[in-house]
Structure 1
Amino acid sequence: MSSPVNRNVTVVVGTIGKAHGLKGEVSLMVRTDIPEERLVRGAEFDVDGPEGVPARLTLTSTRTQQGRWYVKFGEIHNRTAAESLRGADLTLELDREEEFEEDPDAWYPEELKGLEVRTEDGRVLGTVTGLDHYPAQDLLIVRGADGRRVMLPFVEELVPEVDIDNGFVLANPPGGLFDPENALSERDGAEG
């Protein structure tokens, strides 16, 4: 008898920014499309943060000001504790099938890690290591077949297909982006 497939996925809802005020409030870089549903009073988040930070935080209040989110947690009572959270990710474990009932082809950014990146003709370009968010567009971070770190703009014309179930991302990169002589990519963290 085989064990059931775990269809749960851990998603990053937000990344904690600077402390705001003296009573433990922090700014939050929102990483979810539905913050009004995820960031509700009483919601509990696992925290990927430095040592000494509680592993789980309970949201006690939220507010927005000039398009920015500010949150307060029950476990954090002062500015010093709030500053220790800076850079920590708030995560939730969700049931993938329940979340994507209406769109089974949808995916979470966390599910991209480890996917093979290939061209339409089957040439393997590398493996996805992450997704970086920028104001203009997101960048798919790929460890190239030759070990270089390549940043591929994550737009439909360059990345037309994401197939989580079959473990690949289809890419149509601009000419030269994955070529070894491209000086804008990195090899093992060093420029080159």
Structure 2
Amino acid sequence: MQVHVGRIGKPHGIRGEVTVEVLTDAPQDRFAAGAVFATEPTGRGPLTVATARWNKEILLLGFEEVLDRNQAEALRGTRLVFDTDSELETDDDAWYEHELIGLAARIGSEEVGKVVALTPMPAQDLLVIKTAAGEEVLVPFVTEIVPEVDIEAGFIRLTPPGGLFEVNRDSEAEQREGTE
């Protein structure tokens, strides 16, 4: 199985380093020198990590195949893909973004939307739920609010605090009123 572990951002400096949006819980293991990644789009890879360092809270990677800023700029937006078949053990309460996208979001037995994304954040990840009305609701991906994830049955169960699904609706209504 292949999973996205990072997304290349803008170039850093003139020697071909790039910033990387980290999409894994173990960046120090995934982005070690010598790691080889497939890419999406596939024509931009494979890429082999030559250097990895942190600049404040931003991961900077240098690849053996990228020698200058122009080559680094051409990689902007590229997703780094890791093959999990060879290595990872499964954890009962860990999921990959591709496993969660498309799952029905339920409160009790009522479906309130679908998972459309997983946004990694420093404190906790956020699930992006798109409601039937087309609104996006950010839900903290913590056991207290998402007590059940059933990949096989195709749903997550939510126990959101009061008002979580109304917060976006109220702020959007206020913005519309302010522009009219």
Which residue in 2 is equivalent to 1:88? 78
Which residue in 2 is equivalent to 1:61? 51
Give the superposition deviation at 1:140.
Answer: 0.9
Give the superposition deviation at 1:122.
Answer: 0.9
The RMSD of aligned alpha carbons is: 2.9
1:42 aligns with 2:42: no
Which residue in 2 is equivalent to 1:5? none
Give the superposition deviation at 1:13.
Answer: 1.4
Which residue in 2 is equivalent to 1:124? 111
Distance in 1 (CA, whole Å) between partners of 2:92 and 2:128 is: 24
**Matched residue count:** 175
2:89 maps to amino acid: F
**Greater helix content:** 2
Distance in 2 (CA, whole Å) between partners of 1:41 and 1:87 is: 21
Structure 1 residues 148, 69: CA separation in 2 closer, same or farther (over 3 Å shift)? closer
Counterpart contact for 1:24–1:72, Cα < 8 Å = yes
Which residue in 1 is equivalent to 2:6? 14
CA deviation profile, 1:18-67 (whole Å, cap 9, x unmatched): 21221101122222112222112222212225x9x613212122223434
TM-score, normalising length: structure 2: 0.80
Identity, % of aligned positions: 42
Correspondence list, 1:1-192, <5 A:
8=1, 10-48=2-40, 54-95=44-85, 99-101=88-90, 103-119=91-107, 121-178=108-165, 182-184=169-171
TM-score, normalising length: structure 1: 0.76
SS at match of 1:183: helix
Uncovered stretches (5+) of structure 1, i.e. residues with no partner: 1-7
SS at match of 1:182: helix
SS at match of 2:70: helix
2:45 maps to amino acid: A
SS at match of 2:65: coil
Distance in 1 (CA, whole Å) between partners of 2:59 and 2:120 is: 17
